[in-house]
Chain A
Amino acid sequence: MAKKFEKLENYIEEIDHYLAVDKDVEDILTEIRDHILEKTEQENGKIDEEGIGNIIANYGSPKAVAEKYLDGTHIIAPSYRKHLFRYTKILFIIHFSIICLAYVFKTGLYMFPPLFSIPRVDNFFELLSQFPMTLIYDFGLIALLLFLISQMKNKINLPWPKFFTKSVWRKKNQLFTPVKPTWYGLSFWILCLTVVISVFVHFDTLFFYSLNVDNPKPLFTPMASTFYSLIIIASVGIELICYLVRFFSNTFWVDVIKNAIFLAILWVIINFPLNSIFNDFPYFDLGTAASWVLSVLVIIYSLETFSFIYKLIRNRLHNIKNN
């Protein structure tokens, strides 16, 4: 029986780890082994560990050697790379939104077992921990699907969702372009809405002036608490919807309409008698402070709206001039 050399056997074993071929694995490895032994003997006059080590060093890394036998096969077809990330993003947004709903309603959800078994999430930190776990899970699910499709002999045309694409939300030849929406931004607003709804459901208000969770001190009278909390929830909801709309059509009109809604909300708030809504606050007069804050907000939103309208007009004029 031929003598076994440790360096050679280790090298062959490593090649075997990377050799992703369906058949003839032993033939390939035997051929490589025989070649290295013969070359060592021819170039060094004898076969020893040192000689074998030199030949192996020039043969190539085990991974590189094994890759040359792959014949163009891939785990996932390279042309599916964009599909992998796009499908993962879409699935993640849907999946994480469902988890947020489960958190708000304090329940587990079992929508498509065993794919989406969502456990009950009791606190905010658990919810945050679901973020990376959900992303990893969804990425793995899509990768598995694309792996199976890549192994199929029949060619399949995968659907390509045309919404959520950069070509929709970024128009060419514009002087001013709106802020590009991102998946992280969308996740942020979903999280914000989840938090405000949860706090409201738990405490019946969003406004405290004490951080003591066991004895929260509401800022407003009960009726005002509910009223203004719902306004905040609605505002965050409007932000979320507008942000989502940006993925389909990212224009300054979205900002103009959003700001118009916020200005209308501010008008409603300002017309509500401010002095009668606050509880006793020991530090300063809340009614006066609220008036100032609301006035500043009106100015900010108004200026912002004018700036968006200005950019819309300039873009329009620019397009007319170039066409």
Chain B
Amino acid sequence: MAEVMGKIETEMNRGFLQILVLMALENSMYGYLMIKHFNTLGYHVEESTLYPLLRRLEKNGLIQSQWSVEGDRPKKFYLISKEGEKMRTKLLSIWHRQNDILMKINKEIIDG
């Protein structure tokens, strides 16, 4: 059962993480900073999940990146693009609609 729960949770997180990243990248951030920021919000994401996602979003033109050297280490900063902003608006609208449906079904269950 725990294994099944893990798989379902992973599927749910996949879509949620994409919206979360697009919202967080309203301000320029690099990967490690993003993970720390999500942790403070109570959401834990594996770095091995986040970085491939960032690469896919960039490949699809939803975010853009730029290398910057801080101290003696290069860091890749990401920022949402114009296309990403449009996509974010659409995804948020979908998320709100799905949330409303879930709330309605939940109310039906509670009311019997």
Contact = CB atoms under 8 A, between A and B. Distances in A.
A24 to B, nearest CB: 7
Contacts of A39: 32, 47
Nearest to A1: B72
Interface string A13-49: 0000000000010011011101101110010000000
Nearest to B47: A35
B28 to A, nearest CB: 15
B68 to A, nearest CB: 11
Q: How large is the interface on A (under 10, 10 to 19, 20 to 34, 35 or more residues)?
A: 20 to 34
Given A2-B73, A27-B76, A30-B74, A35 B56 contact: no
Interface string B47-62: 1110110011001000
A2 B72 contact: yes
A60 B73 contact: no
B24 to A, nearest CB: 16
Nearest to A34: B73
What DSSP secondary structure best describes chain B's contact surface?
A: helix
Contacts of B72: 1-2
B85 to A, nearest CB: 24
Contact of B55 (A24, A30, A60): A24
B11 to A, nearest CB: 15
Interface residues of B, number: 16
A64 B31 CA distance: 19
Given A24-B55, A34-B73, A71-B56, 9 more contacts: A31-B76, A32-B51, A35-B51, A39-B47, A42-B32, A60-B46, A60-B48, A68-B52, A71-B59
Interface of B: 31-32, 46-49, 51-52, 55-56, 59, 72-76
Interface of A: 1-2, 24, 27-28, 30-32, 34-35, 37-39, 42, 59-60, 64-65, 68-69, 71
A303 B21 CA distance: 76
27 contacts: A1-B72, A2-B72, A2-B73, A24-B55, A28-B51, A28-B55, A30-B76, A31-B51, A31-B76, A32-B51, A34-B74, A34-B75, A35-B31, A35-B47, A35-B51, A37-B73, A39-B32, A39-B47, A42-B32, A60-B46, A60-B48, A65-B48, A68-B49, A68-B52, A69-B55, A71-B56, A71-B59
B76 A64 contact: no
7 residue pairs, one from A and one from B, having the closest CB atoms: A68-B52, A60-B48, A2-B72, A69-B52, A38-B32, A65-B48, A35-B32
Given A2-B72, A31-B31, A39-B32, A59 B48 contact: yes
A24 B49 CA distance: 17
B19 to A, nearest CB: 19
Contacts of A37: 73
Contacts of B59: 71
Nearest to A31: B76
A31 B73 CA distance: 10
A315 B15 CA distance: 55
